[in-house]
Chain A
């Protein structure tokens, strides 16, 4: 059983998705979805602890030995990403029951859970596979189900947001396929480890830099790096609350993982950063993303939209850490993958609670919510503090490592931008807090606290922001190990 865990991680949700759709009863479909996501979380944690002890786990699909067959490989880098996806999945499904009941019509609820589990399958598959074409297949499974999930939003603008995401996402995925094809034509292999062995021989041809370029553009489109982020704000704003929580905390993270895998494991840090000088593109874009997107966030009146722009800025931090291409920089980036999932998960969940009671997340409707919904808004404050990077929260840990990594290379201005970004985050988080706590609540509306089934997952995430902010030894340990592995210094 435990030997087959890498493949079961994908097969169990893949089989469960049609079952959930066929059961076609909101409550039963939900129960199956909860069971599946909990099992996935268990499998993810088991894989992480196994790989931290034994190193890489290889699983040959159908007994076909790599590099001829498809191989699943689990190492600390992707086990980490799998745990992030599984954790958020296991928290969103219990949360979804009440939230979805309010936002999606009853006959579509089983289909919602089916698409949700398919999306989870795709994201886990991208992370676990060791075959580059398999990456594309899972990428499309997760993307297609994500388009369907976003289109379920109540507002009709959800439809156009989903269409826009579909067009841009498909272009990104096709760019990735072109890159993969060009790599295949030069090396004759699709296995990641095999590609890493064979690419140096042909690296000086013209084809490989072109493949590299296509992959860079395709992946940065998927992870919404400025200026390829245009699909993101509308998609996050108009999707149903539970979908926003899930996609915001996992989809872009998995795309970042792809960036790490392709540029460090397959092409190698030397080729990516010394020959192709990827850092000269990624770093300025990341810095611009941090500054401009935080500024844009300050002017938003819809809180979900505000958080969406903040997400693009936070992706800037992750990419900034990666572009430093040092152990410390990568540690900061990988750490922020997890930390950003925790904080944005908590923030979007609290907005889902507001959506449940108030029916809108526009600032003018949120006056006095600090008194009417004390627990919800307290969770928002904790998540917001984490976003700013206040000490004792996970945001502080990420920023601490990021600033250290920048200073290690003598980049004072970069460290300055990171701190300035925190200041801007303070401004947009304060904007919400000001409205929620310093305005009078309208007693006629009779707004009360959100139900427990929404509050419990929200607070699990809010408290993990604090827990992993105080005791960061475990998360930093895994992130450092993953960074060393990617740079090959182990």
Chain B
């Protein structure tokens, strides 16, 4: 497959690195969660790309269509679950950020560390 044919996979790698970098390098807790979200989204795209079959149609059973090629629906189903998990993780993470803000008065990691000393 040509490099262009792998476009989705390049996008996945790019998003994954952007998310991972944000997660590590940013000290702001909200930005960390945004990084985590981008990181997880790249995996969603990875799965959905895997499920695509060249020339395949939506996996809805067609009466009498014996030669019809369907895309693989399982990665879509799996990723629906993963999206729910991602939303739950963000919700827990954001609610923790709110409580950290209440307790420390800041959501910057270095300022929290200064406070803790």
Task: Point out residues on A near B: beta carbons under 8 Å.
Answer: 133, 136-137, 140, 144, 147-148, 151, 156-157, 159-160, 162-163, 166-167, 170-171, 174, 177-178, 181, 184-185, 190
In the assembled complex, the CB of B92 is this many whole angstroms from the nearest CB of chain A, namely 6
- Which residues of chain B have C-beta atoms less than 8 A from A148's C-beta? 92
In the assembled complex, the CB of A140 is this many whole angstroms from the nearest CB of chain B, namely 5
Give the complex CA separation of A171 and B37 in angstroms: 10
Give the complex CA separation of A133 and B43 in angstroms: 14
- Asked if A181 meets B81 with Cβ closer than 8 Å, knowing A156-B103, A159-B103, A166-B93, the reply is no
Query: Are B50's CB and A185's CB within 8 A?
Result: yes
Main secondary structure of the interface of B (DSSP, over half): helix
Query: Are B46's CB and A178's CB within 8 A?
Result: yes
Query: Are A159's CB and B50's CB within 8 A?
Result: no
Of the listed residues B39, B78, B88, the one surrounded by the most CB atoms of chain A closer than 10 A to its CB is: B78
In the assembled complex, the CB of A67 is this many whole angstroms from the nearest CB of chain B, namely 12
In this assembly, does B15 line the interface, its C-beta being within 8 Å of a C-beta of chain A?
no
Q: What are 5 of the A-B contact pairs (CB < 8 Å)?
A: A140-B89, A148-B92, A157-B116, A166-B96, A167-B36
The 10 closest A-B pairs by CB, nearest first: A156-B103, A185-B50, A140-B85, A163-B96, A159-B100, A159-B99, A170-B89, A166-B93, A181-B47, A147-B92
Residues of B within 8 Å of A, CB-based: how many?
29
Query: Are B104's CB and A162's CB within 8 A?
Result: no
Main secondary structure of the interface of A (DSSP, over half): helix
- Which residues of chain A have C-beta atoms less than 8 A from B43's C-beta? 174, 177-178, 181
Please tell me which one of the listed residues B32, B46, B47, B75 contacts residue A167 in the complex, with CB atoms under 8 A apart. B32
Query: Are A171's CB and B81's CB within 8 A?
Result: no
Query: Are A177's CB and B96's CB within 8 A?
Result: no
- Asked if A166 meets B92 with Cβ closer than 8 Å, knowing A156-B104, A157-B116, the reply is yes
Query: Are A184's CB and B75's CB within 8 A?
Result: yes
- Which residues of chain B have C-beta atoms less than 8 A from A171's C-beta? 20, 23, 36, 39
Give the complex CA separation of A133 and B103 in angstroms: 37
Query: Are A159's CB and B96's CB within 8 A?
Result: yes
- Which residues of chain B have C-beta atoms less than 8 A from A144's C-beta? 88-89, 92
- Asked if A160 meets B40 with Cβ closer than 8 Å, knowing A140-B88, A166-B96, A167-B23, the reply is no
Please tell me which one of the listed residues A137, A151, A160, A190 contacts residue B112 in the complex, with CB atoms under 8 A apart. A160
Task: Point out residues on B near A: beta carbons under 8 Å.
Answer: 20, 23, 29, 32, 36, 39-40, 43, 46-47, 50, 74-75, 78, 81-82, 85, 88-89, 92-93, 96-97, 99-100, 103-104, 112, 116
Query: Are B36's CB and A151's CB within 8 A?
Result: no
Please tell me which one of the listed residues B29, B50, B82, B89 contacts residue A184 in the complex, with CB atoms under 8 A apart. B50
- Which residues of chain A have C-beta atoms less than 8 A from B23's C-beta? 167, 171
Give the complex CA separation of A177 and B43 in angstroms: 8
Give the complex CA separation of A335 and B46 in angstroms: 39
Query: Are A181's CB and B89's CB within 8 A?
Result: no
Of the listed residues A137, A157, A160, A171, the one surrounded by the most CB atoms of chain B closer than 10 A to its CB is: A160
Known: A144-B88, A151-B99. 13 other contacts (CB 8 A): A133-B78, A133-B81, A140-B89, A159-B96, A159-B100, A162-B96, A166-B92, A167-B32, A170-B36, A171-B20, A171-B39, A181-B46, A181-B50
Give the complex CA separation of A147 and B116 in angstroms: 20
- Which residues of chain A have C-beta atoms less than 8 A from B96's C-beta? 147, 151, 159, 162-163, 166
Give the complex CA separation of A221 and B92 in angstroms: 20
- Which residues of chain B have C-beta atoms less than 8 A from A147's C-beta? 92, 96
Q: Which residue of B lies closest to A177 (CB)?
A: B43
In the assembled complex, the CB of A102 is this many whole angstroms from the nearest CB of chain B, namely 20
Q: Which residue of A lies closest to B51 (CB)?
A: A185
In the assembled complex, the CB of B38 is this many whole angstroms from the nearest CB of chain A, namely 11
In the assembled complex, the CB of B109 is this many whole angstroms from the nearest CB of chain A, namely 8
- Which residues of chain A have C-beta atoms less than 8 A from B78's C-beta? 133
Give the complex CA separation of A190 and B39 in angstroms: 23
In the assembled complex, the CB of A112 is this many whole angstroms from the nearest CB of chain B, namely 15
In the assembled complex, the CB of B83 is this many whole angstroms from the nearest CB of chain A, namely 12
- Which residues of chain A have C-beta atoms less than 8 A from B92's C-beta? 144, 147-148, 166
- Which residues of chain A have C-beta atoms less than 8 A from B36's C-beta? 167, 170-171
- Which residues of chain B have C-beta atoms less than 8 A from A156's C-beta? 100, 103-104
- Which residues of chain A have C-beta atoms less than 8 A from B85's C-beta? 136-137, 140
Give the complex CA separation of A137 and B40 in angstroms: 14
Please tell me which one of the listed residues A174, A181, A190 contacts residue B40 in the complex, with CB atoms under 8 A apart. A174
